[in-house]
Amino acid sequence: MTVPGQDAPEPPQRVRVEAPRRLANAAPVRASVAQEVSEHSQVGEVFVRSLIRSQLRLAAVVAGAFALVLAGCWLLATLLPGLLEVRLGGIPLPWLVLGVGIYPVVCLCAWLFVRAAARNEARYLDLVGEK
């Protein structure tokens, strides 16, 4: 309803409401190591290669130590030829050492390898941030 002599009220103008531009001024978001690994980025590849290298180094050390034990048995038999003639229960001593005595060494090497490999993987998971 309008009163004579007065102008009709102006319709309200539209106002555009926008969010402030925060993203342009914000610091870039750094991706987590887990995200880097899952996205197969260069940083993630560095972490995975590091884990693989440490596991390979561990395997080489354990295999080398086992080879040294076997070489020591051979060297002992070569330097002391009298050991070849020793018999226990009718079985030559070198056969007993290689057939029975080597298994505890194999089990010890395997146990140490598994413990160290699990420790490497736990360190990697701590670094990546997954638990």
pLDDT level of residue 32 (50, 70, 90 thresholds): low
pLDDT level of residue 24 (50, 70, 90 thresholds): low
pLDDT level of residue 130 (50, 70, 90 thresholds): low
Give 31's DSSP letter.
P
Alpha-carbon radius of gyration of the chain: 37
**Token code pair at residue 71:** 């070489």
Query: Cβ(38)–Cβ(30) under 8 Å?
Result: no
Residue 27 predicted with pLDDT over 80: no
**Token code pair at residue 9:** 């009220």
What residue ranges do the domains of the chain occupy? 33-128
Residue 41 predicted with pLDDT over 70: yes
pTM over 0.85: no
Q: In the chain, pLDDT over 70 holds for what percent of residues?
A: 78
| Distance separating alpha carbons of residues 98 and 104, to the nearest angstrom | 11
User: Cα 109 from chain centroid?
Assistant: 20
Q: Tell me: the pLDDT tens digits for 65-83?
A: 999 988 988 888 888 888 8
Q: What is the mean pLDDT of residues 107-122?
A: 94
